[in-house]
Chain A
Amino acid sequence: MSLLDISGLSLSIGALPILRDVTLSIAAGEILAVTGESGSGKSMTALAVMRLLPQVAKTRGAIYLEETELCALSEDDMCRRRGRDIGMVFQEPMTALNPVMTIGAQVMETIQIHTDMTRAEAEVEAARVLTRVGLPPDRFALDRYPHELSGGQRQRVVIAMAIALRPKLLIADEPTTALDVTTQAQILDLLRDLVRETGMGLMIITHDLAVVAGLADRIVVMRNGEVVERGPTMSVLTHQRHPYTRMLFQASRHRVTLPAARQARSPLLEVRHAVRDYPTARPHLFAKHGRFRAVNDVSFTLHRGERLGLVGESGCGKSTLTRAILGLEGLQGGELLLNGQPLSQKRSPAERQAMQVVFQDPFGSFNPRHRVERLITEPFHSAADAPTGRNREDMVAQVLSDVGLRPEDAQKYPHQFSGGQRQRIAIARALITRPELILFDEAVSALDVSVRARILDLIADLCRAYGLTYLFISHDLSVVREICDRVLVMQNGEIVEDGPVAQVFAAPQHSYTRRLLAAAPVLPDMTAEDDTAGAPA
């Protein structure tokens, strides 16, 4: 008898089927990874086990936790099990913690709901659990608040809450997606150790196959609410029986064929000793503001025709630098030059048109009330020679077909497109003025792997057609490796390494670069005939 047995679980909201006949099981001490792209129903499966589905959802099928049929329990009985028998870790640790409660209180809360421990006993227990997840009370006092911790530390608190009562089953829904790669590695190690130690079952939901490969005992691949493939990790990775699994793997390790960079190189953008400070809160009423140096003496040159990557973890200053280059924020020191001419914060229309940007969030980067045509011609706003009438229509049609959309799409609203299509629209908007430089600010980070692969191909195609020069800002090393010629590594506001992609990835010089590369989960290279290679790290 396994620990968790889901059989024939179907779920619909209104007329919309969400899950179809999902069957899976987890044994005690086993790590099961549920993977798939957005909309595959993996989170809904987890919520169904917790019985935390939206009220309108209708379920059929059975969910057994050991001998108990969870679907048949009353809400009160279910409340007694949540937190005690089943723990859950969510994706975004900031929203999973109550910002006005101390971390100690939040861990104690779980303990006190389910046991009759006194406050003092619960406090001791909370300290013990927090120590176990790597937050010893002598360094992380119980009376700290979530905002005083980093993202990874917050996720440790969430894990502490979930495992405080040694649940039989832990469900982790994208537990590391919101974290930096070095933090991700630590959290995954922690989860793995906890499973080995306590013998609980772990159901980890993730879209990242590299994470799956390094962690899970067994894999379930889901698509459109159905399980399409299941089996031991090694076997699924090696055989990839279902075409969808194969597609996922190929997309995850997608190689982009970037055309060779143009030879004649003149400097396009020069950043010289850029400095950006932010004032921090006054320590007390009459004190001066402190300051936080987000960008510290950064210098680099981007040549015409070059594809430059900028990688670093959150808070390293890469977004601030991007905004300064775009003229959205001023610099306290240093200067920016475009084609040898100094750029002030007040840009001329020509300077604005020469530089365009693609943002991360395909849902937030468009005014929902404007049509595509109006959205993508926005960069012409300040142009003296903005095309009009027939010319403008041709231009819109041309740029839409360049990015793989149809000219008719110009009359649609952004909500009529999928995330990947919207990112294409964002690229169209950046492309329409034929800029000299495009900034991609985490432009593929919010996309599913298959969509991401297609967008990367699109960028390579556009390079071929238009010889783009761009600065590609990303936290994802594997993407930068595919799409850039040269890479800058940024840490704490400074550029610590600068070199050709091949060289930096093969022989990183700086210790931070080495750490980043070591922490990034790698999808083992395996094919059906080669089954010795790539034992999960």
Chain B
Amino acid sequence: MSSATDIPPNQKARAMSRSLILGGMLAGIMLILALVSFVWTPFDHAVMNIPDKMQPPNAVHWLGTDHFGRDILSMVMVGARTSLAVACLSVGIGMSLGVPLGLAAAAMRGSWLDEMIMRGNDLVFAFPSLVIAILITAVFGPSAANAIIAIGIFNIPVFARVARGGSLSLWAREFILAARVAGKSRARISVEHILPNISNLLIVQGTIQFSLGILAEASLSYIGLGAQPPTPSWGRMLAEAQTMVSLAPHLAIVPGLAIILTVVGLNLLGDGLRDRFDPRLLEGRA
């Protein structure tokens, strides 16, 4: 739903807060790096070049090379692709399953369906997510696909809860009553009236889950349960740099910074979006 169309211009201007701009820039840079890596990287990220190994940043290799002589900038660029893809797909899984569940729970508030969905949520919440993700990838084999599924499962209850919470207050509003008087079914009201009005909440939660997904992917790769070599991944780059940190600190600093900047960027973006979509602002113009 186009949320921008009905915001008066003065609020649009004021909504562009500093955190929104900075966060958008940081996240945008990472996205551009990932996209550019499909068509161009300075070097082939998989080609080893032992004579040039462990070079500090220089004119040829802007961010230096690793212990196999691979170009770190190229690896970071392709690694961004892995991180963003895993985070994106796991948020996608969480949203596409969690939001309908949350909408259904709110539409049937107090029914057995609501109880089942929400108690199922509690069950998933009760497990420490990263530990279970490790379990899943360990059982089904380490791969990016399994990491996506593992992280995605834990996104489901988050989105279900946000969707339900946002919907409940809307169900008491008079425009929903009016739609019910017109004979619209609960499912149709959920899609037509509720979903567009909670999209702001979902977008904000989405950016936060996205940054958590990047962290989770990095953690899984760090212990070898994420994307497998030769696919580069920020988490594994960090793990490989561990033993050589004193000799070539840039090996750890570069992927570490990439993770930090992306996560900080996404969090700032989430905060900025939250401010912009502040429910009180919405009330004011609603």
Residues in chain A within 8 A of chain B (CB atoms): 326-328, 347, 349, 352, 355-357, 359-361, 363-369, 378-382, 413-415, 429
Q: Is B184 an interface residue (CB 8 A)?
A: yes
Give chain B residues whose Cβ lies under 8 Å from the Cβ of A414.
Answer: 286
Contact flag A368-B286 (CB < 8 Å), given A357-B178, A359-B174, A359-B177? yes
B182 touches A367 (CB 8 A): no
- B180, closest chain A residue (CB): A328
Instruction: Tell me if B197 is interfacial: C-beta within 8 Å of chain A.
Output: yes
Q: Are B181 and A328 in contact (CB under 8 A)?
A: yes
Most B Cβ at <10 Å: residue of A369, A380, A381: A369
Q: Quick check: B178 and A378 within 8 Å, CB to CB?
A: yes
Partner of B182, one of A359, A365, A382: A382
Question: In the complex, which of the residues B179, B180, B182 has the most CB atoms of chain A within 10 Å of its own CB atom?
Answer: B182
Other-chain residue from B175, B177, B184 in contact with A381 (beta carbon distance below 8 A): B184
What is the CA–CA distance of A347 and B183 in the complex, to the nearest angstrom? 8
B175, A364: Cβ atoms under 8 Å? yes
Specify the main secondary structure of chain A where it touches its partner.
loop
Given A364-B174, A364-B175 in contact, is the A369-B196 Cβ separation under 8 Å?
yes
Q: Does B174 lie within 8 Å of A379, measured CB to CB?
A: no
A356/B181 in contact, CB under 8 A: yes
The one of B175, B182, B282, B285 in contact with A366, judged by C-beta atoms closer than 8 angstroms, is: B175
Known: A328-B180, A363-B286, A379-B181. 6 other contacts (CB 8 A): A364-B174, A367-B193, A368-B197, A378-B184, A381-B184, A415-B286
- Asked if B285 contacts A368 (CB within 8 A), the reply is yes
CB of A69, distance to nearest CB on chain B (Å): 33
Do B178 and A359 have beta carbons less than 8 Å apart? yes
By secondary structure, the B interface counts as: helix
Contact B182 A381 (CB under 8 A): yes
* Chain B interface size, under 10 / 10 to 19 / 20 to 34 / 35 or more: 20 to 34
**Chain B residues in the interface with A (C-beta under 8 A):** 1, 3, 6, 173-175, 177-184, 193, 196-197, 282, 285-286
How many Å lie between the Cα of A63 and that of B286 in the bound state?
35
Task: Known contacts A415-B6, A415-B285, A415-B286; decide if A365 and B181 are in contact (CB<8 Å).
Answer: no
Q: Are B1 and A365 in contact (CB under 8 A)?
A: no
Q: How far is the CA of A367 from the CA of B177 in the complex (A)?
A: 11
Q: Say which residue of A326, A356, A357, A369 sits within 8 Å of B197 (CB atoms).
A: A369
Contact: A352 with B175, CB < 8 Å?
A: no
Do residues A378 and B286 form an inter-chain contact, with CB atoms below 8 A?
A: no
5 shortest interchain CB distances as A-B pairs:
A382-B183, A365-B174, A359-B174, A368-B286, A352-B183
Residues of chain B within 8 A of A367, CB atoms compared: 175, 179, 193, 196-197
Q: Is the CB–CB distance between B174 and A361 below 8 Å?
A: yes
A379 touches B286 (CB 8 A): no
Q: CA–CA, A365 to B183, complex, Å?
A: 16
- In the complex, the chain A residue whose C-beta lies closest to that of B172 is A364
Q: A364-B175, A415-B6, A415-B285 are in contact. Are A378 and B182 (CB under 8 A)?
A: yes
A501 to B214: give the CA distance in the assembly, Å. Answer: 69
- Cβ contacts under 8 Å, B181 to chain A: 326-328, 352, 355-357, 379
Among B3, B175, B180, B286, the one with the most A-chain Cβ atoms within 10 Å of its Cβ is B175
Chain B residue nearest in CB terms to A413? B6
Question: A369–B175 contact, CB under 8 A?
Answer: no
Determine the chain B residues whose CB is within 8 A of the CB of A352 once the complex forms.
181-183
The chain B residue with its CB closest to the CB of A429 is B178
Contact B183 A381 (CB under 8 A): yes
Q: Which A residues are CB-close (under 8 A) to B175?
A: 364-367
**B282: chain A residues within 8 A (beta carbon):** 368
Assess A364 versus B182: contact at CB under 8 Å? Given A369-B1, A415-B6.
no
Q: Which residue of A lies closest to B286 (CB)?
A: A368
Chain B residues lying within 8 Å of A326, measured Cβ to Cβ, are: 177, 181
Docked pose: A352 CA to B6 CA in angstroms = 31
State the CA gap A238–B175 with chains docked (Å).
43
Closest residue on chain B to residue A326 by CB atoms: B181
Q: How far in angstroms is the closest Cβ of chain B from A391?
A: 19
A415 to B11, CA, bound (A): 14
Q: Which residues of B contact A364 (CB under 8 A)?
A: 173-175, 286
